[in-house]
Amino acid sequence: MKKCWLELEDDNSLDDLPADATPGFDGDSDDARKATDDLRDELISLQDRLHAQGRHALLIVFQAMDTGGKDSTIRRVFSGVNPAGIRMARFASPSDNELAHDYLWRVHPQTPARGQIVIFNRSHYEDVLVVRTNKLFPEPVWRRRYEHIRGFERMLSDEGTTILKFYLHIDREEQRERLQDRLDEPDKHWKFQPHDIEQRKLWNDYMAAYADAIRETSRPFAPWYIIPANRKWYRDYAVMSIIVDTVRRLDPQYPEPDFDPKKIKLE
């Protein structure tokens, strides 16, 4: 697989990375859409085998700034996949009951069983992103959570869960255009929240928080992929490429029956 993501160097910020880049892809958008469709067909077949075999579990985490495209990416990448073996979990503001427990308490029950793909639309990373930028807890509290998260993901990996984490990278100008589009288009008004404007003012703080989270928790057993996401057609292609390549390497197979189908006679 050609490299279709961006690398965050130690001395770089996320704003240094080109959100409209198309690494590893030489064709135009029509070529990318065709390639994405072909990969989707392969993913449908691979996921069917993964579900039937019941051996592997796949956790896919999506994080992004507001308007980054988490919902549309999930919808486009997983369109047509057998819903029996796939599930999405969305992590909104914690309830009173969830706040009465440790912050990972609500996350662990949502992780995939063997044979499942589970998609996190936002995730446990909100507890080192929103918590940090909005100063909901002091720094010693959120900073020690990097170690907790590494340990949590290490445990999931050791117990057989494959983990992919995607940061959908848009730049500040692209976010402004997408927010304006939500204001201009009546059928998108429901997507806009006045709170989005307040969070946009914290852009630089969020960039620092995301960069630290990626550096602190990207490990071979739970890698982060920074996907340039200004161009939606490329975003979909890149995410699909990584997921399909990962499931290919898991090499799921339909299980052999414990009976001889040829000896079964139907009357």
**Which of 187-191, 204-208, 210-214 comes out lowest in average pLDDT?**
187-191
**Which of 5-14, 58-67, 170-179 comes out lowest in average pLDDT?**
5-14
pLDDT band for 33, please (50, 70, 90 cuts). very high
Say how many C-beta atoms besides its own lie within 10 A of residue 49's C-beta.
Answer: 19
List 62's β-bridge partners, or say none: 121, 166
Q: Given a cut of 90, is residue 258 above it in pLDDT?
A: no
CATH number of 85's domain:
3.40.50.300
For residue 192, tell me if it sits in a domain.
yes
Please choose, from the candidates 171, 169, 165, 170, the residue with its C-alpha nearest in 3D space to the C-alpha of residue 242: 165
The total number of structural domains in the chain stands at 1
Give me the helices (H) in the chain, please. 29-53, 70-77, 96-99, 126-133, 139-143, 145-158, 172-184, 194-200, 203-217, 232-250
pLDDT band for 135, please (50, 70, 90 cuts). very high
For residue 187, tell me if it sits in a domain.
yes
**Which of 8-12, 34-38, 164-168 comes out lowest in average pLDDT?**
8-12
Q: Given a cut of 80, is residue 48 above it in pLDDT?
A: yes
pLDDT number for residue 28: 82
Rounded to whole angstroms, the Cα distance separating 209 from 75 reads 27
Question: Which percentage of the chain shows pLDDT scores above 70?
Answer: 100
Question: Strand ranges (DSSP E) for 53-99?
Answer: 57-64, 86-90
Q: Measured in Å, how far apart are the chain's first and last C-alpha atoms? A: 50
List 226's β-bridge partners, or say none: 6, 167
Determine the average pLDDT of the residues in 163-170.
98
Strands 161-169 and 57-64 turn out to be parallel
For residue 5, tell me if it sits in a domain.
no
pLDDT number for residue 26: 80
Domain span holding position 62:
46-250
For residue 64, tell me if it sits in a domain.
yes
For residue 188, tell me if it sits in a domain.
yes
Rounded to whole angstroms, the Cα distance separating 225 from 248 reads 18
Q: Given a cut of 90, is residue 11 above it in pLDDT?
A: no
Rounded to whole angstroms, the Cα distance separating 46 from 248 reads 7
pLDDT number for residue 169: 98
For residue 32, tell me if it sits in a domain.
no
**pLDDT of 102-132, one tens digit each?**
999 999 999 999 999 999 999 999 999 999 9
For residue 88, tell me if it sits in a domain.
yes
The torsion of the CA quartet 112, 114, 115, 117, rounded to 10 degrees, works out to: 20
For residue 3, tell me if it sits in a domain.
no
- As given in the structure block, the two tokens for residue 35 are 């390639």
